[in-house]
Amino acid sequence: MAVIRFSSLEQVNKRKPVHVDPPSKDVADYFGINVFDDQKMRKFLSGEAYEHVKRAIYRGTPIDRKMADAVAIGMKAWASERGATHYTHWFQPLTGGTAEKHDAFLEYNGNGGVVESFSGKALAQQEPDASSFPSGGLRNTFEARGYTAWDPSSPAFVIGDTLSIPTIFISYTGEALDHKTPLLRALNAVNDAATVVCQYFDKNVSQVQANLGWEQEFFLIDEALYYARPDLSLTGRTLMGHASAKDQQLDDHYFGSIPERVSAFLKELEFEAYKLGIPIKTRHNEVAPNQYEIAPIYSECNLAVDQNVLVMEVMKRVSRHHDFRVLFHEKPFAGINGSGKHNNWSLSTDTGVILHSPGKNPKSNLQFLTFIVNTIKAVFEHQDLLRASILTASNAHRLGANEAPPAILSCFLGKEVSKMLDQIEEQVTNRKMTPDEKTELKLDIGKIPEILLDNTDRNRTSPFAFTGNRFEFRAVGGSANSATPMAVLNAAVAAQLRSFSKAVDELIEQGVKKDEAIFQVLRQEIIASKSIRFEGDNYSDGWLKEAKKRGLSNITDIPDSIHTYESAKAKQLFVSQGILGENEIAARVEVMYENYIMKVQIEARVLGDLAINHIVPTAVKYQNVLMQNVALLKELYGDDYESLSGNRVALIREISERVTEIKTMVNEMVEARKVANKIDLAEKRAAAYSKNVFPYLDKIRYHIDKLELIVDDEMWPLPKYRELLFSN
């Protein structure tokens, strides 16, 4: 397809849906068929090997070489049955996405022949020689080795002919080079700290797990249109494009009926996801045209993160069967809603209690309030770090835009829970409470569940909202790997729970009764974190002012935000809990700066190229048509030509002016890049990109979008927003 205009969208809209039928009507027949899950482990492993893996999963105990061999044999037997001939260690490098290097099961048998085999060593550890992944200097050129090591807590799976083994990716000296390692460490920390707190309420709790249910938003764009927009295919977002006369004003897409081709894509996607044990439960249209959402049933956090990363890969693959491209970018189109990945998060015990869900009696509700208050306090305490965990070059376009929360962290609790916290604040005192006061408070606390049931108020503008039995971290970006925000959140909550139990224990030691000690510390934390609680509209200008008055931070510059990782507070949080060491933090920060620089650099190059090679020549061509027309009018009508040429003379001038502006600014942008590139220190270079290069993107775009409105539609070289958004 050459230039795609609205009139030629017919070809796109006539594409036939491709239906892929699952092998059975009953999902249970194929759910998890390609996952080496508990059921398969029981079947393919010896009792002893099975017990070892289970212990490794639940207790984090190491698996020795002999057991690893036994597991490898069982895993290989199963994988071969599923058609696997190769295996790979599957990991999540800091570049984003996933990485894999496939090896055949093939080995020499020592007698001149070959056998298929898979050893415990190959299962447990590999050296993928992945030396070109960013490491922030943790691997210098002499010691460029990185290792992948099996993560038994996330089950292996088969895709195509390959057995994929989820792994962590670490340097020769054991430092984290990936997203998963710090997450696993943070999950351990929160398990330890939360279990201690649970002991105040229930001695039977021996384990606490973090849960995650992600909601993935995305756009689907027809492949032909995608390829016709180099900015979209190279940077993931449109760098230019005037708003369509109609986009989402009517809200007619949200929860609307799903177009047939999209629905065929979603069906195949679900089928593929189910085979991989990913329990996709929800699918619906989102607010923007061509925008959709899927969400699974929540699960343990590490597994959920892996499943999200995996499903994103599956989505990219399956979308192509349907001539679609899937966009995860947080803001592919200016002026309309972007895509987030809401992270629904909670803690739960091995006794089956969701700690962020109200209980049935005053005691379990006090536990519930304890976890709510400590979560809020953790968000308050580490608001800057939480922001840093989600503020990426791409997500920055979404945050603070009209439909997304600003870069200010705040918590929404809802009327009833807020009221409870206010009550504790008012009723509890530092002196001993009278029995009556205690009874009253406990009675009130006992009432929470009934009230919550019919308390369906929701605040969809909040970046961190309580939604009945969990918190929803909505600020996470659509293209993000949730491991990082989840590592930071769990680390922050772990540290807070530790400081909470320390304070409670101190009071108990001073002779204060347990209940009362808990109440007193809760009260202190409620007071200390009050400013982070906000029930109003986070999108409003009023909130920006109010938040400032409250002293909440609002960092929108990305390099500034990345810098938060190196603050004393952040270091204390990570280092003291063994989540990241000082040099791991430094390395990660370096990678984040470099990533940011690269993103802006690529966008600047693509925009410069499109502006100079596509837009300017087109505008000049159209200007020539106008000039010719005016010249001919003059020839025919002499001095009367001016009144007969309408606004064409003015248009000719406007085109000249805009073209000049564009050319000048593209040159300036190139110069700004050259200056920035000479700066040695990544942090300073990133700052130069943010302050001196990035602003040109919008300024240049402004003139291009104005030209789009003037130039003949037939000549315009790129599909416009209305074409991109209204085809499927």
**Amino acid in the structure at residue 293:** E
Which of ligand ADP, Mg ion, none lies near 295, with the C-beta cut-off 5 to 8 A by kind? Answer: ligand ADP
Task: Indicate the residue among 148 and 299 with the shorter CB distance to ligand ADP.
Answer: 299
Residue 223 burial (C-beta neighbours within 10 Å; 0-12, 13-18, 19+): middle
Q: Are 187 and 57 in contact (CB under 8 A)?
A: no
Task: Indicate the residue among 213 and 277 with the shorter CB distance to Mg ion.
Answer: 213
Residues 302-361 that bind Mg ion (CB under 5 A): 342
Q: Name the segment binding ligand ADP (CB under 6 A); options: 110-118, 139-147, 342-350, 661-669.
A: 342-350
Cα(395)–Cα(203) distance, integer angstroms: 43
Instruction: Count CB atoms within 10 A of the CB of residue 188.
Output: 16
Cα(723)–Cα(9) distance, integer angstroms: 7
Task: Indicate the residue among 472 and 723 with the shorter CB distance to Mg ion.
Answer: 472
Chain residue at closest Cβ approach to ligand ADP: 213
Q: Are 607 and 667 in contact (CB under 8 A)?
A: no
Task: Indicate the residue among 389 and 467 with the shorter CB distance to ligand ADP.
Answer: 467
Task: Indicate the residue among 322 and 342 with the shorter CB distance to Mg ion.
Answer: 342
**Amino acid in the structure at residue 672:** A
Which of ligand ADP, Mg ion, none lies near 297, with the C-beta cut-off 5 to 8 A by kind? Answer: ligand ADP
Cα(100)–Cα(123) distance, integer angstroms: 14
Q: Which of 354, 508, 649, 710 forms a contact with ligand ADP (CB under 6 A)?
A: 354
Q: Which residues pair with 103 in a beta bridge?
A: 87
Task: Indicate the residue among 284 and 415 with the shorter CB distance to ligand ADP.
Answer: 284
Task: Indicate the residue among 354 and 649 with the shorter CB distance to ligand ADP.
Answer: 354
Q: Are 36 and 156 in contact (CB under 8 A)?
A: yes
Residues 205-264 that bind ligand ADP (CB under 6 A): 211, 213, 215
Q: What's the count of helices (H) and strands (E) in the chain, helices before strands?
A: 27, 17
Closest CA to 480 of 559, 556, 386: 386
For 581-601, give the DSSP string: -HHHHHHHHHHHHHHHHHHHH
Nearest approach in angstroms of CB 282 to ligand ADP is 5
Which of ligand ADP, Mg ion, none lies near 364, with the C-beta cut-off 5 to 8 A by kind? Answer: none
Task: Indicate the residue among 277 and 296 with the shorter CB distance to ligand ADP.
Answer: 296
Nearest approach in angstroms of CB 467 to ligand ADP is 6
Which CA distances in Å does 443 have to 356, 360, 363, 366?
19, 12, 10, 11
Nearest approach in angstroms of CB 279 to ligand ADP is 8
The DSSP output letter for 693 is: I
Closest CA to 669 of 688, 651, 686, 650: 688
Nearest approach in angstroms of CB 393 to ligand ADP is 26
Give per-residue burial for 601-625: e unless 16+ CB within 10 Å, then b: eebbebbbebbeebbbebbeebbee
> According to the binding rule CB under 6 A, does residue 382 interact with ligand ADP?
no
Six-digit token pair at 705?
């979008």
Q: Of all helices (H) and strands (E), which one includes residue 472?
A: strand 471-473
Total residues contacting Mg ion by CB under 5 A comes to: 1
Nearest approach in angstroms of CB 203 to ligand ADP is 23
**Amino acid in the structure at residue 58:** Y
Chain residue at closest Cβ approach to Mg ion: 342
Q: Are 459 and 453 in contact (CB under 8 A)?
A: no
Q: Name the segment binding ligand ADP (CB under 6 A); options: 183-191, 193-201, 295-303, 544-552.
A: 295-303
Q: Which of 52, 261, 470, 722 forms a contact with ligand ADP (CB under 6 A)?
A: 470
Cα(397)–Cα(392) distance, integer angstroms: 9
Task: Indicate the residue among 36 and 292 with the shorter CB distance to ligand ADP.
Answer: 292
Q: Which of 295, 310, 312, 404 forms a contact with ligand ADP (CB under 6 A)?
A: 295
| Long-range residue pairs from 524-531, CB within 8 A, at least 24 positions apart, any chain | 525/373, 525/374, 525/376, 525/377, 525/500, 526/373, 526/421, 526/424, 526/425, 527/425, 528/377, 528/380, 529/373, 529/376, 529/377, 529/379, 529/380, 529/381, 531/380
The DSSP output letter for 254 is: T
Task: Indicate the residue among 215 and 231 with the shorter CB distance to ligand ADP.
Answer: 215
Residues 222-281 that bind Mg ion (CB under 5 A): none
- Would you mind telling me the total number of residues written for the chain in this entry? 728
Q: Which of 296, 338, 362, 446 forms a contact with ligand ADP (CB under 6 A)?
A: 296
Radius of gyration over alpha carbons of the chain, in Å? 29
3-state helix, strand, coil in the chain (%, to 5): 55, 15, 35
Cα(690)–Cα(685) distance, integer angstroms: 9
Nearest approach in angstroms of CB 307 to ligand ADP is 11
Nearest approach in angstroms of CB 467 to Mg ion is 7
Q: Which of 88, 238, 346, 595 forms a contact with ligand ADP (CB under 6 A)?
A: 346
Task: Indicate the residue among 160 and 256 with the shorter CB distance to ligand ADP.
Answer: 256
Nearest approach in angstroms of CB 211 to ligand ADP is 4
Nearest approach in angstroms of CB 472 to Mg ion is 5
Nearest approach in angstroms of CB 25 to ligand ADP is 24
Give per-residue burial for 441-465: e unless 16+ CB within 10 Å, then b: bbebbbebbebbeeeeeebebbbbb
Q: Which of 181, 191, 308, 344 forms a contact with ligand ADP (CB under 6 A)?
A: 344
Binding string to ligand ADP for residues 271 to 290, with x set by CB under 6 A, is what?
A: -----------x--------
Q: Which of 297, 453, 527, 644 forms a contact with ligand ADP (CB under 6 A)?
A: 297
Give per-residue burial for 670-689: e unless 16+ CB within 10 Å, then b: eebbeebeeeeebbebbbbb
Task: Indicate the residue among 342 and 498 with the shorter CB distance to Mg ion.
Answer: 342
Total residues contacting ligand ADP by CB under 6 A comes to: 14
State how far Cα 497 lies from the chain centre.
Answer: 25
Nearest approach in angstroms of CB 471 to Mg ion is 11
Q: Name the segment binding ligand ADP (CB under 6 A); options: 311-319, 344-352, 657-665, 699-707.
A: 344-352
Task: Indicate the residue among 296 and 446 with the shorter CB distance to ligand ADP.
Answer: 296
Nearest approach in angstroms of CB 354 to ligand ADP is 5
Nearest approach in angstroms of CB 336 to Mg ion is 19
Task: Indicate the residue among 150 and 298 with the shorter CB distance to ligand ADP.
Answer: 298
Q: Name the segment binding ligand ADP (CB under 6 A); options: 43-51, 153-161, 249-257, 343-351.
A: 343-351
Q: Are 291 and 337 in contact (CB under 8 A)?
A: yes
Q: Which residues pair with 435 in a beta bridge?
A: none
> According to the binding rule CB under 6 A, does residue 469 interact with ligand ADP?
yes
Binding string to ligand ADP for residues 567 to 606, with x set by CB under 6 A, is what?
A: ----------------------------------------
Which of Mg ion, ligand ADP, none lies near 470, with the C-beta cut-off 5 to 8 A by kind? Answer: ligand ADP
Which of Mg ion, ligand ADP, none lies near 577, with the C-beta cut-off 5 to 8 A by kind? Answer: none
Task: Indicate the residue among 281 and 415 with the shorter CB distance to ligand ADP.
Answer: 281
Instruction: Count CB atoms within 10 A of the CB of residue 113.
Output: 7
Task: Indicate the residue among 284 and 684 with the shorter CB distance to Mg ion.
Answer: 284
List contacts with ligand ADP (CB under 6 A).
211, 213, 215, 282, 295-298, 344-346, 354, 469-470
Q: Please report, as ranges, the residues that interact with Mg ion according to CB under 5 A.
A: 342
